[in-house]
Amino acid sequence: MKKIAFFDIDGTLTSEIDGSIPVSAIEAIRAARANGNLMFINTGRCFQNVEERFRSIGFDGLVCGCGTNIYCEDREILHVSQTHDVTMELLKAAQDADLDILFESYKEVTFDRSRPLHDSEAIKLYRQFASFDYHMPDPNTTPDFACDKFVTWFQKPAQLAEFRQVSDQYFTCIDRGGNFREYVPHGYSKATGIQYVLDHYGLRKEDAYVFGDSNNDLPMLTYIPNSVAMGNASPASLFDEVSYVTKKASEDGISVALEHFGFI
């Protein structure tokens, strides 16, 4: 029976130490695919931000934006975007609460630069995107600008509470630790993305295996019986939600788990 595996990117495919992709992970994924299994990325990143270094590993498809944008064999089979009006409502709410916001879509990423970014991680990410020559339009002046999802950084809890009075109407807020939050449209998650792919191929949940390391992976880790937490997963409570805990990403965790489950 053909099996299908879904991999988060950051901290799962990539080393938790330096963000590199372990050679053992690349080789194991390619070997599993050569054995007739389906290999998929399942990430919170939107399509535009799934770098070529990930795509070149060799996958059968991508579940992007926490289930809002899905590709099978290089063909888009689902894309869910917000309206311009909703996006502008979120932008104004972020400005009113004075928190940093990063909008993401299948074609672009962009920060609100109407005032200086406050958070050091937001600044670091902005500089990284600039170094990649990513298209980052100004959401304040771009006609019909819209997002698929977004993330925020806040300095005080009151800022987050104020912002969520608006965002909670449309989005589920995921605690990514510290002052970092990720927002996904209601009704979508890494789990709904998996089910969409399973339906596309006529596969069962029991045929699927999922690999993750953080809270935005929790929906898929609890939805699929064959669930794998990386040894570097955080929070540690994720270990209690999975059927198997593998080694850290930097310690050949992907390869170890794929061998354990008979992919290779």
pTM for the full model? 0.92
Q: What is the CB neighbour count within 10 angstroms for residue 223?
A: 17
Query: Tens digit of pLDDT for each residue in 73-128?
Result: 989 999 999 999 999 999 999 999 999 999 999 999 999 999 999 999 999 999 99
Per the prediction, the chain carries an average pLDDT of: 96
Query: Tens digit of pLDDT for each residue in 31-44?
Result: 999 999 999 999 99
Burial of 140 (0-12, 13-18, 19+ CB in 10 A): middle
Question: Which phi and psi (to 5°) does residue 182 adopt?
Answer: -115, 140
- What's the average model confidence in pLDDT over 41-62? 96
- The rounded distance, in Å, linking the Cα atoms of 255 and 5 is 12
Please determine, for residue 1, whether its predicted confidence score (pLDDT) is greater than 80.
no
Please determine, for residue 134, whether its predicted confidence score (pLDDT) is greater than 80.
yes
pLDDT band at 2 (very low <50, low <70, confident <90, very high): confident
Please determine, for residue 259, whether its predicted confidence score (pLDDT) is greater than 80.
yes
CA–centroid distance for 172 within its chain: 14
